[in-house]
Amino acid sequence: MNLFKKLRKHLPTYQEIQQYRYLHIFGDGLKQPEVWAFNRQSTAKGVAIGLFCAFLPMPFEMVPAIFLAVLMGGNLPFALAGVWISNPVTWVPLYTPCYLLGAKILQLNPIELADITLRQAGTHYAALWLGCLTVGLSLSIATHFFISYMWRSQVRQRWRRRKEMRAKRKSQNKETV
């Protein structure tokens, strides 16, 4: 059975989603078929959106992921799954390189968290955000193209196999005649 068919079994239906009152803030966006479709474009967009939002140094990254998935027509389940890369266990390895990149872009000397003062907090928080946005955007674009490429290559491979099978059957039919 296909992975997407297995996932679809566990996903809520539109009627089940409408039962949750707090989801009405997303309006009719959750009714869009692209948000729930498992095709190349929506899946690649959903994963890319999830990765981008995972790099946002803020709590509740799932909310912007939902809004972006609805706005851009990305697969919502994959967008939400991508956000879970960022969690309290992965914050330090995820955000430290982003902060260092942002500090380098802003030409700041990186400082240790224990040495930061309230006066410096805003500047260094801006460095963190800049680095996170840069890394998140770069990774999400690369991931989108990678998923699209892999999806296309898999489709080409299936077509090639089908073509070979048809040719094999055709040659077998000629031999029997």
- Taking residues 160-167, what's their average pLDDT? 90
- Taking residues 139-143, what's their average pLDDT? 94
Does 9 have pLDDT greater than 90?
no
- Taking residues 152-165, what's their average pLDDT? 91
How far apart are alpha carbons 86 and 63 in whole angstroms?
A: 14
Domain ranges within the chain, ordered by starting residue:
3-176
Q: Tokens representing 15? A: 């009627």
Q: Tokens representing 105? A: 């872009």
Does 160 have pLDDT greater than 50?
yes
